[in-house]
Amino acid sequence: MSRTVPLPKLHHITKSPEKKPKAEPHRRADSLKSLLSQLQRHDSLSPQLHARILKSPQHSKHPFLLTRLAHAYLLSNHLPPAERILAKAFPDTSPPPLFLWNETIRAHSRNGCFRESIVVYRRMLARGLRPNAFTFTFVLPACAGARSSPDGRRVHKDSVRFGFDSNLFVATALVDMYAKCGEIGTAREMFDGMPQRGTATFNAMIAGYIWNGKCEEAMSLFDQMRRLGVQYDAMTMVSILQACASLGTLQKGRWVHEQVIRAHMEINVHLGAALINMYARCGSIEESRRVFDEMPRRDLVSWTAIICGHGMHGLAEDAESLFNQMMESGFSPDSIAFVGLLSGFSHKGMVHKVKLHFYMHFGQPDNLKFPLP
């Protein structure tokens, strides 16, 4: 006989309260921050993410998100949208931070937009922001790149006014700026007046001398650097090798090469190209080729240096062979590599080769009527 099970009384049934989801006021913001951190790797996300922020009332004026978004644009070299964010997106109550102004100045200078970099710096001052040492180390290279001594002098005065002219990095940037603007005497006065000078400071002054065609002064300063026990680096050696190449001092160049080896410096593409160029210009194309052959990695600059070296020595066939190898390696020749190749052909009177390579890479211009050989 089946047993009947009584139903439970209704008052014994208690409905468990629904769990309300925890408020996550920052979830949306955190999601956007996460996406922003990926912008450097995924540039295509930037416009969509920008639109999401602008459409969101709670995020369109979020200072941190706007700063991250603008910085992501700067890192990917998309300067116009970053500029628009800097100029218009921030609310009056939360103006753009100094960090973003500095990075905008730096990005413009890094991309060769020197005048724009200086303009951003001036706008920053007009907004009442106080610059820091980073500001000056970013804007002074822009003055140097623009070859604008007047702008450089104004920035120099600002560095004095704000108390950063004695900062080692700012003072080094001032030396570099004056040298590249052609005021090598002022650069040397700045250099001599510095209470302390490191490797970067000596490098700036040595490079400045070479930039202004004063290679003997550069060599003398390098000797002083060594006497004072200041450590030299690969950048120092690149500059000194350039001086050796200009002066034609093969023995000094060989000595520099020996110091590089003794110091266990890596022969990177910059140092390698400087060695190739020095040996070629000092008359030893064999040593130049040996350096090239031993380089673990080559770029367009090193290929161009060895092609030009063979070209200036009239070794047209070798220069052409290297030129073809460079292209097979995936490098597109620039105008300097092409001129180096043509130099070798012109030494041999191989006009037909000059025409052939010119047509191959540039096509036949309308104003040149000579036919292919």
Please write the tens of the pLDDT for every residue from 106-147.
999 999 999 999 999 999 999 999 999 999 999 999 999 999
pLDDT tens for residues 162-172?
999 999 999 99
pLDDT value of residue 37: 58
Cα angle for residues 180, 185, 187 (degrees, 5° grid): 50
Residue with token string 């979020």: 62
Band (240; pLDDT cuts 50, 70, 90): very high
16 or 211, which is more confident: 211
CB 180 within 8 Å of CB 205: no
User: Which helix (H) or strand (E) is 67 found in, with range?
Assistant: helix 63-75
Residue 179 to residue 190: CA distance in whole angstroms: 10
Distance of CA 278 to the CA centre of its chain: 24
For residue 24, what are its two tokens? 């996550």
Band (290; pLDDT cuts 50, 70, 90): very high
Residues 247-278: b if buried by 16+ CB within 10 A, e if exposed: bebbebbbebbeebeeeeeebebebbbbbbbb
The mean-pLDDT minimum among 112-116, 245-249, 271-275, 307-311 falls in: 307-311
pLDDT tens for residues 186-230?
999 999 999 999 999 999 999 999 999 999 999 999 999 999 999
Whether residue 372 has pLDDT greater than 50? no
For residue 137, what are its two tokens? 């180390």
Whether residue 30 has pLDDT greater than 90? no
pLDDT value of residue 371: 45
CA-to-CA separations, 301 to 125, 208, 277, 353, 354, in angstroms, rounded: 39, 21, 10, 23, 22
43 or 190, which is more confident: 190
CB 39 within 8 Å of CB 9: no
28 or 278, which is more confident: 278
User: Which helix (H) or strand (E) is 163 found in, with range?
Assistant: none
pLDDT value of residue 61: 73
**CA-only gyration radius of the chain, Å:** 31
Band (314; pLDDT cuts 50, 70, 90): confident
SS (H, E, C) 1-63: CCCCCCCCCHHHCCCCCCCCCCCCCCHHHHHHHHHHHCCCCCCCHHHHHHHHHHHCCCCCCCH
CB 232 within 8 Å of CB 220: no
337 or 2, which is more confident: 337
DSSP state of 197: -
Residue 313 to residue 333: CA distance in whole angstroms: 20
What is the DSSP track for 283-327?
A: T-HHHHHHHHHH-SS--HHHHHHHHHHHHHTT-HHHHHHHHHHHH
Whether residue 370 has pLDDT greater than 50? no
Share of the chain above pLDDT 70, in %: 77
